[in-house]
Chains A and B, each alone.
Chain A
Amino acid sequence: ETGVTQTPRHLVMGMTNKKSLKCEQHLGHNAMYWYKQSAKKPLELMFVYNFKEQTENNSVPSRFSPECPNSSHLFLHLHTLQPEDSALYLCASSQAGNYEQYFGPGTRLTVT
Protein backbone atom coordinates (compact mmCIF):
# COMPACT_ATOMS: atom_id res chain seq x y z
CA GLU A 1 0.00 0.00 0.00
CA THR A 2 1.55 3.30 -1.05
CA GLY A 3 1.07 6.45 0.95
CA VAL A 4 -0.35 8.15 -2.12
CA THR A 5 -3.97 7.59 -3.08
CA GLN A 6 -5.80 8.65 -6.20
CA THR A 7 -9.47 8.76 -7.09
CA PRO A 8 -11.14 7.75 -9.24
CA ARG A 9 -9.10 4.80 -10.47
CA HIS A 10 -10.94 4.74 -13.78
CA LEU A 11 -12.78 7.51 -15.57
CA VAL A 12 -14.60 7.66 -18.88
CA MET A 13 -15.68 11.08 -20.02
CA GLY A 14 -16.97 12.77 -23.10
CA MET A 15 -15.19 15.66 -24.72
CA THR A 16 -17.67 18.18 -23.34
CA ASN A 17 -17.59 16.93 -19.75
CA LYS A 18 -15.84 18.48 -16.78
CA LYS A 19 -14.28 16.18 -14.22
CA SER A 20 -11.60 16.29 -11.55
CA LEU A 21 -8.91 13.86 -10.47
CA LYS A 22 -7.92 13.80 -6.83
CA CYS A 23 -4.64 12.86 -5.21
CA GLU A 24 -3.84 12.66 -1.52
CA GLN A 25 -0.51 11.83 0.11
CA HIS A 26 -0.13 10.62 3.69
CA LEU A 27 3.66 10.75 3.81
CA GLY A 28 4.22 14.25 5.13
CA HIS A 29 5.82 15.32 1.85
CA ASN A 30 5.83 18.88 0.61
CA ALA A 31 6.19 18.41 -3.13
CA MET A 32 3.55 16.90 -5.41
CA TYR A 33 3.50 16.12 -9.11
CA TRP A 34 1.16 15.19 -11.94
CA TYR A 35 2.44 12.90 -14.68
CA LYS A 36 0.83 11.56 -17.85
CA GLN A 37 1.68 8.08 -19.10
CA SER A 38 0.53 7.19 -22.61
CA ALA A 39 1.10 3.92 -24.39
CA LYS A 40 4.56 3.66 -25.96
CA LYS A 41 5.68 6.94 -24.39
CA PRO A 42 7.72 7.74 -21.30
CA LEU A 43 6.15 9.35 -18.29
CA GLU A 44 5.62 13.02 -19.02
CA LEU A 45 5.82 15.50 -16.18
CA MET A 46 2.85 17.89 -16.28
CA PHE A 47 2.91 19.98 -13.11
CA VAL A 48 5.03 20.41 -10.00
CA TYR A 49 3.95 21.91 -6.71
CA ASN A 50 6.36 22.73 -3.90
CA PHE A 51 4.87 23.87 -0.62
CA LYS A 52 1.52 24.38 -2.40
CA GLU A 53 3.08 26.69 -5.01
CA GLN A 54 3.13 25.65 -8.63
CA THR A 55 6.73 25.72 -9.74
CA GLU A 56 6.44 24.02 -13.10
CA ASN A 57 3.93 23.83 -15.90
CA ASN A 58 5.51 21.69 -18.55
CA SER A 59 3.70 23.21 -21.54
CA VAL A 60 0.45 21.54 -20.63
CA PRO A 61 -2.72 22.64 -22.50
CA SER A 62 -5.09 24.82 -20.53
CA ARG A 63 -7.79 22.14 -20.63
CA PHE A 64 -5.81 20.65 -17.73
CA SER A 65 -5.97 22.82 -14.63
CA PRO A 66 -4.17 21.80 -11.42
CA GLU A 67 -5.07 22.86 -7.91
CA CYS A 68 -3.10 22.32 -4.72
CA PRO A 69 -5.05 23.54 -1.67
CA ASN A 70 -2.48 22.16 0.79
CA SER A 71 0.63 20.03 0.84
CA SER A 72 -1.37 16.81 1.13
CA HIS A 73 -3.91 17.27 -1.65
CA LEU A 74 -3.61 17.78 -5.36
CA PHE A 75 -6.34 18.00 -7.97
CA LEU A 76 -6.35 17.96 -11.73
CA HIS A 77 -9.43 19.60 -13.23
CA LEU A 78 -10.32 18.45 -16.72
CA HIS A 79 -12.55 20.12 -19.29
CA THR A 80 -13.13 19.80 -23.03
CA LEU A 81 -10.57 17.05 -23.36
CA GLN A 82 -9.58 15.35 -26.59
CA PRO A 83 -9.41 11.62 -27.31
CA GLU A 84 -5.61 11.85 -27.39
CA ASP A 85 -5.73 12.85 -23.72
CA SER A 86 -6.71 9.29 -22.87
CA ALA A 87 -3.89 7.98 -20.69
CA LEU A 88 -2.88 6.97 -17.19
CA TYR A 89 -2.54 10.03 -14.96
CA LEU A 90 -0.17 9.50 -12.08
CA CYS A 91 0.28 11.61 -9.01
CA ALA A 92 3.53 11.51 -7.04
CA SER A 93 4.96 13.15 -3.95
CA SER A 94 8.37 13.67 -2.40
CA GLN A 95 10.18 15.69 0.17
CA ALA A 96 11.43 18.90 -1.37
CA GLY A 97 15.02 18.35 -2.44
CA ASN A 98 14.66 14.57 -2.35
CA TYR A 99 14.52 12.93 -5.74
CA GLU A 100 12.77 9.80 -4.54
CA GLN A 101 9.18 10.14 -5.62
CA TYR A 102 6.33 7.97 -4.44
CA PHE A 103 3.58 7.35 -6.93
CA GLY A 104 -0.13 6.82 -6.53
CA PRO A 105 -1.89 4.00 -8.40
CA GLY A 106 -3.04 6.37 -11.12
CA THR A 107 -6.32 7.23 -12.80
CA ARG A 108 -6.90 5.55 -16.14
CA LEU A 109 -8.73 8.13 -18.21
CA THR A 110 -10.62 7.42 -21.41
CA VAL A 111 -11.99 10.33 -23.42
CA THR A 112 -14.71 9.37 -25.86
Chain B
Amino acid sequence: RKEVEQDPGPFNVPEGATVAFNCTYSNSASQSFFWYRQDCRKEPKLLMSVYSSGNEDGRFTAQLNRASQYISLLIRDSKLSDSATYLCVVKGSPRISGAGSYQLTFGKGTKLSVIP
Protein backbone atom coordinates (compact mmCIF):
# COMPACT_ATOMS: atom_id res chain seq x y z
CA ARG B 1 0.00 0.00 0.00
CA LYS B 2 1.36 3.42 -0.91
CA GLU B 3 2.10 5.70 2.02
CA VAL B 4 -0.26 8.41 0.82
CA GLU B 5 -2.72 7.64 -1.93
CA GLN B 6 -4.95 9.99 -3.88
CA ASP B 7 -7.19 9.75 -6.93
CA PRO B 8 -5.15 11.61 -9.56
CA GLY B 9 -8.26 12.89 -11.34
CA PRO B 10 -8.65 15.07 -13.23
CA PHE B 11 -11.83 16.35 -11.70
CA ASN B 12 -13.55 18.66 -14.16
CA VAL B 13 -16.34 20.59 -12.49
CA PRO B 14 -18.42 23.64 -13.43
CA GLU B 15 -18.14 26.88 -11.53
CA GLY B 16 -20.23 26.86 -8.40
CA ALA B 17 -20.08 23.10 -7.97
CA THR B 18 -19.07 21.29 -4.81
CA VAL B 19 -16.20 18.85 -5.15
CA ALA B 20 -14.63 16.46 -2.67
CA PHE B 21 -11.24 14.77 -2.65
CA ASN B 22 -10.23 11.83 -0.52
CA CYS B 23 -6.83 10.62 0.49
CA THR B 24 -5.75 7.48 2.34
CA TYR B 25 -2.61 6.95 4.32
CA SER B 26 -0.91 3.75 5.36
CA ASN B 27 0.77 4.64 8.64
CA SER B 28 -1.75 4.47 11.44
CA ALA B 29 0.70 6.29 13.74
CA SER B 30 0.64 9.43 11.58
CA GLN B 31 -0.39 12.44 13.60
CA SER B 32 -0.34 15.47 11.36
CA PHE B 33 -2.14 16.01 8.10
CA PHE B 34 -2.29 18.80 5.58
CA TRP B 35 -3.62 19.81 2.22
CA TYR B 36 -1.24 21.69 -0.06
CA ARG B 37 -2.16 23.30 -3.34
CA GLN B 38 0.12 23.35 -6.37
CA ASP B 39 -0.64 25.46 -9.39
CA CYS B 40 0.68 24.45 -12.78
CA ARG B 41 4.46 24.90 -12.91
CA LYS B 42 4.50 26.49 -9.47
CA GLU B 43 5.62 25.39 -6.03
CA PRO B 44 3.30 23.75 -3.49
CA LYS B 45 1.69 26.03 -0.92
CA LEU B 46 -0.04 25.10 2.31
CA LEU B 47 -3.80 25.30 1.93
CA MET B 48 -4.84 24.09 5.36
CA SER B 49 -3.98 21.75 8.18
CA VAL B 50 -6.40 18.95 9.02
CA TYR B 51 -7.50 18.56 12.61
CA SER B 52 -9.16 15.57 14.23
CA SER B 53 -12.38 17.46 14.81
CA GLY B 54 -12.50 18.69 11.24
CA ASN B 55 -11.93 22.28 10.27
CA GLU B 56 -13.27 24.84 7.88
CA ASP B 57 -11.70 27.80 6.15
CA GLY B 58 -14.17 29.70 4.05
CA ARG B 59 -15.29 27.46 1.20
CA PHE B 60 -12.86 24.71 2.20
CA THR B 61 -13.59 21.98 4.73
CA ALA B 62 -11.08 19.33 5.78
CA GLN B 63 -11.92 16.19 7.71
CA LEU B 64 -9.92 13.35 9.20
CA ASN B 65 -11.13 9.81 9.82
CA ARG B 66 -8.45 8.06 11.85
CA ALA B 67 -10.27 4.75 12.04
CA SER B 68 -10.37 4.46 8.27
CA GLN B 69 -7.12 6.35 7.74
CA TYR B 70 -8.46 8.84 5.28
CA ILE B 71 -8.56 12.57 4.91
CA SER B 72 -10.98 14.58 2.84
CA LEU B 73 -11.14 18.05 1.37
CA LEU B 74 -14.44 19.60 0.36
CA ILE B 75 -14.57 22.70 -1.82
CA ARG B 76 -17.91 24.49 -2.05
CA ASP B 77 -18.94 27.01 -4.68
CA SER B 78 -15.91 26.26 -6.88
CA LYS B 79 -14.16 29.19 -8.51
CA LEU B 80 -12.03 29.20 -11.65
CA SER B 81 -9.09 30.14 -9.44
CA ASP B 82 -9.47 26.86 -7.54
CA SER B 83 -8.07 25.02 -10.57
CA ALA B 84 -4.88 23.40 -9.33
CA THR B 85 -3.48 20.12 -8.06
CA TYR B 86 -4.32 19.36 -4.44
CA LEU B 87 -1.69 17.44 -2.51
CA CYS B 88 -2.52 15.35 0.52
CA VAL B 89 0.37 15.47 2.98
CA VAL B 90 1.09 13.39 6.05
CA LYS B 91 3.79 13.66 8.64
CA GLY B 92 6.61 11.32 7.57
CA SER B 93 6.53 7.68 8.44
CA PRO B 94 8.70 6.74 11.42
CA ARG B 95 10.56 4.22 9.27
CA ILE B 96 12.28 7.17 7.65
CA SER B 97 14.92 7.78 10.27
CA GLY B 98 16.45 11.08 11.23
CA ALA B 99 14.47 14.17 12.13
CA GLY B 100 11.18 12.37 11.64
CA SER B 101 9.16 15.17 13.13
CA TYR B 102 10.18 17.47 10.28
CA GLN B 103 9.39 15.19 7.38
CA LEU B 104 6.31 15.30 5.22
CA THR B 105 5.12 12.56 2.88
CA PHE B 106 3.24 13.80 -0.14
CA GLY B 107 0.60 12.13 -2.26
CA LYS B 108 0.77 12.46 -6.03
CA GLY B 109 -2.02 14.99 -5.98
CA THR B 110 -5.50 15.33 -7.41
CA LYS B 111 -5.94 17.66 -10.33
CA LEU B 112 -8.96 19.93 -10.31
CA SER B 113 -10.16 21.94 -13.29
CA VAL B 114 -13.05 24.33 -12.72
CA ILE B 115 -14.79 25.09 -15.98
CA PRO B 116 -16.70 28.30 -16.76
Contacts and interface: CB of A to CB of B under 8 A. Distances in A.
Interface of A: 2, 31, 33, 40-43, 45, 48, 50, 55-56, 58, 90, 94, 96-97, 99-106
Nearest to A2: B43
Contacts of B98: 48, 55-56
Contact of B108 (A31, A42, A97): A42
A100 B92 CA distance: 13
A43 B106 contact: yes
Interface string B58-70: 0000000000000
Interface of B: 4, 32, 34, 42-46, 49, 87, 91-92, 96-99, 101-109
Contact of A90 (B32, B43, B102, B108): B43
A99 B42 CA distance: 20
A31 B44 contact: no
Contacts of A56: 96-99, 103
A53 to B, nearest CB: 9
Contacts of A104: 43
B4 A42 contact: yes
A58 B102 contact: no
B9 to A, nearest CB: 13
Most chain B CB inside 10 Å of its own CB: which residue of A31, A96, A97, A103: A103
B102 A42 contact: no
A24 to B, nearest CB: 14
Contact of B102 (A94, A103, A106): A94
Ranked nearest first, the 4 interchain pairs of A and B with the lowest CB-CB distance are A56-B98, A103-B43, A55-B99, A43-B106
A93 B32 CA distance: 18
Contact of A100 (B46, B97, B103, B105): B46
Contact of A42 (B42, B46, B49, B109): B109
B87 to A, nearest CB: 8
